[in-house]
Amino acid sequence: QVTAKTAFLFILPQYNVSVPTADGELVQYHYGLKDLVTILFYIFIAIVLHAVVQEYILDKINRRLHLSKVKHSKFNESGQLVAFHLTSVIWCLYVVVTEGYISNPRSLWENYPHVYLPYQVKFFYLCQLAYWLHALPELYFQKVRKEEIPRQLRCISLYLLHIAGAYLLNLTRLGLILLLLQYLAEFFFHMARLVYFTDENNEKLFNVWAVVFVVTRLFTLTLYILVIGFGLPRVESQALEPERGNFFSFLFNNIFFRMSVLLLVCLFQASVMWRFIHFQLRRWREYWNEQSSRKRAAATAAGTKQQTKLLKRDSGYHENGVVKAENGTSPRTKKIKSP
């Protein structure tokens, strides 16, 4: 019994409470310090799964492709993230559909703060935190190049900030939808990279990713405006109540603060779109430069081939070590014998 209670502390989410409903009682969860123990356990699970995907899938593909060291590192990174993003998209989509967050957008801000969480929502957040925390020691295990470490640390920090912020500030419903949109775009990007490493002439998935990225950015911006601009200011309780988990509603009731937050969100999304446009322009420029160089090389090769044919035609051709003219006769002039 003692070991079972300790095991449950590591495996199952803690802080369950019975919430009365119209149909009876519903078991839900809130957060606390014991969540750190559960997250630690799933960090080790994530490290094991990472090693399994690397050894039994990615390493076997790498042996066939014979990639360079730089491409090998990027291929491993994208392969791991494709597996994670695909799993997270399916799981997150299942959660938001079964909980009714998509069919009823008002639920994203109604009854805020969302202190009590369903089991699947809390477990999803704990696993997400565990995955991105496990990515820190993986930088050492995977022997990531020094110039790549700052970029990956920045990416990991942003994900941890978003997920932990939504979890601790009781914005879990909004965080789920935003994660679903982000992971969907990231899945297509890393899938396009994998296809590109296997066939460098195949860039069609990058075009699909570009469309998905723009659509998800528009949905993200619309969602921010809907929740921050119109949803949270209409919450019934507009007082600061940290003990009840109410951190934001009284701030969003102030129009100046609300417009300032929306402005920051718009500027951030604009910067993301600017980097995206810059990346697309650079990719298209490289593509057209490559196409023009190929055309020039083909034209040069065709001109050289035609010039070689003309030289052969002018100077005759060799047959058995003897120079012959076009009609098969020798180019030498015959001497006319005097009678």
| Rounded alpha-carbon distances, angstroms, from residue 313 to 77, 90, 302, 308, 334 | 58, 68, 17, 9, 22
**Three-state SS at 239:** coil
Q: Is 0.85 surpassed by the pTM of this model?
A: no
Token pair 């570009």: residue: 210
The helix (H) or strand (E) run that includes residue 137 is helix 119-141
Would you tell me how many other CB atoms lie within 10 Å of the CB of residue 335?
A: 6
Tokens of 237: 């309780």
Angle at which helix 119-141 crosses helix 149-168, to 10 degrees, equals 160
- According to the model, what pLDDT value does residue 326 have? 47
- According to the model, what pLDDT value does residue 253 have? 66
- According to the model, what pLDDT value does residue 83 have? 95
> Rounded to the nearest 5°, which phi and psi values hold at 327?
-85, 5
Per domain, the residue ranges of the chain are 1-200
Do the Cβ atoms of 82 and 186 come closer than 8 Å? Answer: no
- According to the model, what pLDDT value does residue 21 have? 73
- The ranges of the chain with pLDDT < 70 are 1-2, 235-254, 308-339
Token pair 């050289």: residue: 304
Distance CA 130, CA 13 (A): 13
**Which 8-state DSSP code applies to residue 245?**
T
Do the Cβ atoms of 258 and 273 come closer than 8 Å? Answer: no
Distance CA 122, CA 116 (A): 9
**Three-state SS at 117:** strand
